[in-house]
Amino acid sequence: MSDSIKVGESILSVEDISLNFGGVHALKSVSFNVNKGELFSIIGPNGAGKTSMLNCVSGRYNPQGGEIRYKDHDITKLSPNHRADLGIGRTFQNLALFGHMSVLDNILVGRHHLMKNNFLTGSVYWAGGAQAEELEHRRACEDIIDFLEISHIRKAQAGKLAYGLRKRVELARAVALKPDLILLDEPMAGMNLEEKTDMARYIVDLNQEWGMTVVMIEHDMGVVMDISDRIIVLDFGMKIAEGLPEEVINDPHVKQAYLGDDDDIAQVSA
């Protein structure tokens, strides 16, 4: 696969994506470009189509129009599991952990597509290389567990953990895929200040030290402005702004979308 993409070159390009649910136009020809090594945020009011956009990239939705290219592959029609194989990982807005499994098992699911041994080669454990493989994957999981500081709960049942910890486990599961591009859908929703600070630190570390390209949806403007390299703003399924954090926050369209119409905006722009 083309690992030849250098930092700063385009890793994901979304062109003219349109998505309809019957008569509802969730996305109207949205285009943007994410470069390798970037921390890219998608913001916008509720119902703007942010999660729909993410779902188009991860393969849960199939857009009616447009093209999504990842590392120079056209992935528009690819099934979600193949996209995961190509190196796209994601977390979900509403927690989607495998609740009855242990934290470690949850993370191991993320390693699934990297494992090669099967039921038969696994049964000749030592001879088939399964042992070496298992060790390698367990070690990778331990690295992730250490990094996200969840080693004290590794054996706990995922469904019984506190909300903030579950969010962290979900991030760990997505990281376990060893993705080049990680999609985070509201990683900090419903967290308190301390948890948010931690999460922001993990995301920045993933981006800078682990070299993952991050596409993030987030509502907390303070965090978004602090850590993002670039931002796009969606409203009613359309892209209304794109650029550096300071450019975006001063954009009149963005103010309009966030603050409301008419009178208010007249005052703001005055």
Partner 1 sequence: MNTELLIQLLVNGIIIGTLYGVVAMCFTLIYKSTKIINFAQGEFLLIGAWVCWWILNQFQIPFLFAFLLCLGFMMVLGILLQVLILKPMIGQPIISIIMVTIGLSIFFQAAMKWIFGVAPQPFPPVFETKSIEILGLNVQTAYIMSMIISLVIMVGFAWFFKYSRMGLAMRATAFDQQVAQSMGISVKRVFAMSWAISAMVSAMAGIVVGMVNGVSTGLSHFGIKVFPAIILGGLDSIIGAIVGGLIIGVLENMAEFVDGQYLHWGNMYNIAPFYILVIILMIRPYGLFGTKDIERI
Residue with tokens 């905006």: 265
Q: Which is nearer to partner 1, 215 or 233 (CB)?
A: 215
Least separation in angstroms between CB 226 and partner 1: 28
Element (H, E) at 239: strand 238-243
CA distances to 33, 142, 143 from 177, in Å:
23, 13, 13
Helix axes 163-176, 193-208, angle to 10 degrees: 10
- Which residues, including other chains, have CB under 8 Å from residue 16's CB and lie 6 or more apart? 29, 30, 31, 65, 66, 67
Least separation in angstroms between CB 206 and partner 1: 17
Least separation in angstroms between CB 193 and partner 1: 28
Q: Which is nearer to partner 1, 80 or 129 (CB)?
A: 80
The alpha carbon of residue 17 and the mean position of all alpha carbons in its chain are separated, in whole angstroms, by: 18
Least separation in angstroms between CB 266 and partner 1: 43
Q: Which is nearer to partner 1, 89 or 237 (CB)?
A: 89
Least separation in angstroms between CB 59 and partner 1: 7
Cβ contact 31:16 at 8 Å = yes
Q: What is the distance between the alpha carbons of residues 20 and 43, in angstroms, rounded to a whole number? A: 20
Residues constituting the chain: 270
Least separation in angstroms between CB 113 and partner 1: 3
Q: Which is nearer to partner 1, 159 or 252 (CB)?
A: 159
Least separation in angstroms between CB 180 and partner 1: 13
Return the beta strands (E) in 80-204 as ranges: 88-90, 181-185
Q: Which is nearer to partner 1, 85 or 198 (CB)?
A: 85
Q: Which is nearer to partner 1, 49 or 89 (CB)?
A: 89
CA neighbor of 17 nearest in space, from 2, 7, 29: 29
Q: Which is nearer to partner 1, 129 or 243 (CB)?
A: 129
Q: Which residues bind partner 1 (CB under 8 A)?
A: 58-60, 79-81, 84-85, 89-90, 92, 96, 98-101, 105, 108-110, 112-113, 115, 117-119, 122, 173, 177
Using the Cα atoms of residue 52, residue 58, residue 61 and residue 64 in order, give the sign of their dihedral. positive
Two tokens at 144? 């992730």
Residue with tokens 């506190």: 162
